[in-house]
Chain A
Amino acid sequence: MNLLELQGVHTHIGAYHILHGVDLAVPKGRLTMLLGRNGAGKTTTLRTVMGLWKVAQGRVAFAGKEIGGLATPQIADLGIAYVPETMGIFADLTVKENMLLAARAARRAQDMDEARLKWIFRLFPAVEKFWNHPAGKLSGGQKQMLAVSRAIVEPRELLIVDEPSKGLAPAIINNMIDAFAELKASGVTILLVEQNIHFAQRLGDTVAVMDNGRVVHAGTMADFSADAQLQQRLLGLSL
């Protein structure tokens, strides 16, 4: 069953027509990789799903329900967590405050789920270490971890993540991959945009490749990994 489905989605940004009929299916409980060259429209697709850009044409359905015309807070409320490319960290707030904000059900820090926090601290120790420090003081990698932590501080049905490994050191990337693997194992559906090869190989169940505002290939990661020619043609490189 598809948790998220896009059918023939067009998006305009100002005078520019960015998405030209995107068809995308994100199966429930699986991790879907969204690949493509720079400028293919991957970020625009994610932002359209979140309602940050308006759907000009086409259908976006979450758990069978049409969400194309909804406002961003309403979409998030349905159980979708979004980690943007820019991370969206509130630099002047502490790490704790960033997390508290993401924990919608909690009125104060004490109300956050202890067990869940412990799990997050295990995945990303930096989050615990700098709990009371302004988030702006964290390094790039630590900010990424905070951004992902925020997305999982409360259970969500769908995680939409835009390039979590961008600018990270290789050792940290492995950390990130492990974290996502654990997330996947916990049953969360994930839609992940990534340029990093290892992410794709280790984590991807299904894959969609975008080019020029369209999805030009969709299928299982297994098939895609096996076809070097296809990879070369679509991405200009081999996985």
Chain B
Amino acid sequence: MSLKMDVDWKPLLLVPALALLALPLVGSPSTWLTLTVAGLAMGMIVFIIASGLTLVFGLMDVLNFGHGVFIALGAFVATSVLGVMGDWTQSQSILANLAAVLPAMVVAMLVAGAVGLAFERFIVRPVYGQHLKQILITMGGMIIGEELIKVIWGPAQIPLPLPEGLRGSWLWGDAAVEKYRVLAVVVGALVFGLLAWTLARTKIGLLIRAGVQDREMVESLGYRIRVLFVGIFVAGSALAGLGGVMWGLYQQNVIPQMGAQVNVLIFIVIIIGGLGSTTGALIGALLVGLMANYTGFVAPKVALFSNIALMVAILLWRPQGVYPVAGSR
């Protein structure tokens, strides 16, 4: 009998495999490097957004079709916060820039988290266990949220320019690597690290991992998993807000519909990853990000289809996603 904790390593190889596959198709290594970093950055941002959603689903069987509203909210809040920090964003100093961007992120997370609390209480909680109504109601919540954003910030596109010091690229030989994208990868890695550490090393993480498998038993052991769930929902919304800020800076503008647009992407990601798995979401997000950037360069017309094709390919291999959660369903 195998006594080691064997880690399922095959899905982990998918990311480098895709990158290597793209190299001959792209041609020049320096372009490849630029695209890869861009893809990883985009993937990391998508992961930040998707991580909360997949945990919420894994734990409580609740799928929030309105998750996009927190993304948009975070992005718009950032426009307001950064708007009043003109001197710091105009400065060339990266430190000053970060001193502006960090508070924007924090405020965005707080606002998104607070709205998440209300969303859970008034929209999600009344329809526990009823999947059909959940889909409809969370969609309705997103519509209302999007309209409210338009009320507060207006219906038009708002530019969200990168602070001066974060613009531009570093040059490594022939390859130009955008500074902001590197930052995105760093932030994403930090978030993943934090999530992974929490899940593996803290008792709360233990509760989450156990709750995803057998919610009833966790309650029978005396834990109020409902409270935990609300916490995760709020954390997931806050993370989506953070992702929204980063996505907005990545695109350098924000529109009220951005929530609905990114929604599709994150659904693809968590389907690929397996509903309930954080590592799966990371892999899915990185694959989607890389795919979008590689196909955008090699065959632009196929770009959006490429994600669907990727999803179909993965589902044919593993119908429940790359890391199906061993749940009692």
Chain A interfacial positions (CB closer than 8 Å to B): 50, 52, 71-73, 76-77, 82, 84, 88, 90-94, 97, 100-102, 104, 107-108, 130, 133-134, 136-137, 150
Report chain B residues within 8 Å CB of A150: 221
A73 to B207, CA, bound (A): 13
Say yes or no: B3 contacts A52, CB within 8 Å: no
- Chain A residue nearest to B212 in the complex (CB): A92
A84 to B216, CA, bound (A): 10
In the A-B complex, the 10 residue pairs with the closest CB atoms? A88-B217, A76-B222, A72-B219, A90-B210, A73-B224, A82-B220, A77-B222, A73-B219, A90-B213, A73-B222
Report chain B residues within 8 Å CB of A71: 219, 224
> Is residue B120 within 8 Å, beta carbon to beta carbon, of the partner chain?
no
Say yes or no: B5 contacts A101, CB within 8 Å: no
A71 to B206, CA, bound (A): 21
Say yes or no: A100 contacts B219, CB within 8 Å: no
From B1, B210, B216, B326, contact of A52 by CB (8 A): B216
Say yes or no: B210 contacts A101, CB within 8 Å: yes
A236 to B208, CA, bound (A): 45
Report chain A residues within 8 Å CB of B207: 101
Say yes or no: B225 contacts A73, CB within 8 Å: yes
- Chain B residue nearest to A134 in the complex (CB): B5
* Minimum CB–CB distance for B277 against chain A, Å: 11
A91 to B206, CA, bound (A): 12
Say yes or no: A101 contacts B220, CB within 8 Å: no
Chief secondary structure at chain B's binding surface = helix
How many B residues touch A, CB cutoff 8 Å? Answer: 22
Which interface residue of B209, B213, B220 has the most chain A CB atoms within 10 A?
A: B220
Within 8 A of A (CB), among B48-64: none
- Chain A residue nearest to B328 in the complex (CB): A86
Say yes or no: A91 contacts B210, CB within 8 Å: no
* Minimum CB–CB distance for B91 against chain A, Å: 44
Say yes or no: B220 contacts A93, CB within 8 Å: no
Say yes or no: A104 contacts B222, CB within 8 Å: yes
> Is residue B2 within 8 Å, beta carbon to beta carbon, of the partner chain?
yes
> Is residue B10 within 8 Å, beta carbon to beta carbon, of the partner chain?
no
A50 to B221, CA, bound (A): 10
A77 to B203, CA, bound (A): 17
Q: 20 A-B pairs, CB-CB below 8 angstroms?
A: A52-B220, A72-B219, A73-B219, A73-B222, A73-B224, A90-B209, A90-B217, A92-B209, A92-B213, A93-B206, A93-B210, A101-B207, A101-B210, A101-B221, A104-B221, A108-B203, A133-B5, A136-B326, A137-B3, A150-B221
Q: Given that A91-B326, A93-B206 are known contacts, is A101 also in contact with B3, CB under 8 Å in the complex?
A: no
Report chain B residues within 8 Å CB of A72: 216, 219-220
Which interface residue of B2, B3, B225 has the most chain A CB atoms within 10 A?
A: B3
Report chain A residues within 8 Å CB of B217: 84, 88, 90
> Is residue B303 within 8 Å, beta carbon to beta carbon, of the partner chain?
no
- Chain B residue nearest to A147 in the complex (CB): B217
Say yes or no: A90 contacts B220, CB within 8 Å: no
Say yes or no: B220 contacts A50, CB within 8 Å: yes
Report chain B residues within 8 Å CB of A88: 214, 216-217, 220
Say yes or no: B221 contacts A76, CB within 8 Å: yes
From B3, B203, B224, B326, contact of A92 by CB (8 A): B326
Report chain A residues within 8 Å CB of B106: none
A88 to B219, CA, bound (A): 11
Report chain A residues within 8 Å CB of B220: 50, 52, 72, 76, 82, 84, 88
Say yes or no: B222 contacts A97, CB within 8 Å: no
> Is residue B128 within 8 Å, beta carbon to beta carbon, of the partner chain?
no
Interface string of B160-188 (1 = CB under 8 A from A): 00000000000000000000000000000
Say yes or no: B203 contacts A107, CB within 8 Å: yes
> Is residue B122 within 8 Å, beta carbon to beta carbon, of the partner chain?
no
Q: Given that A90-B213, A90-B214, A137-B1 are known contacts, is A97 also in contact with B206, CB under 8 Å in the complex?
A: yes
Report chain B residues within 8 Å CB of A94: 5
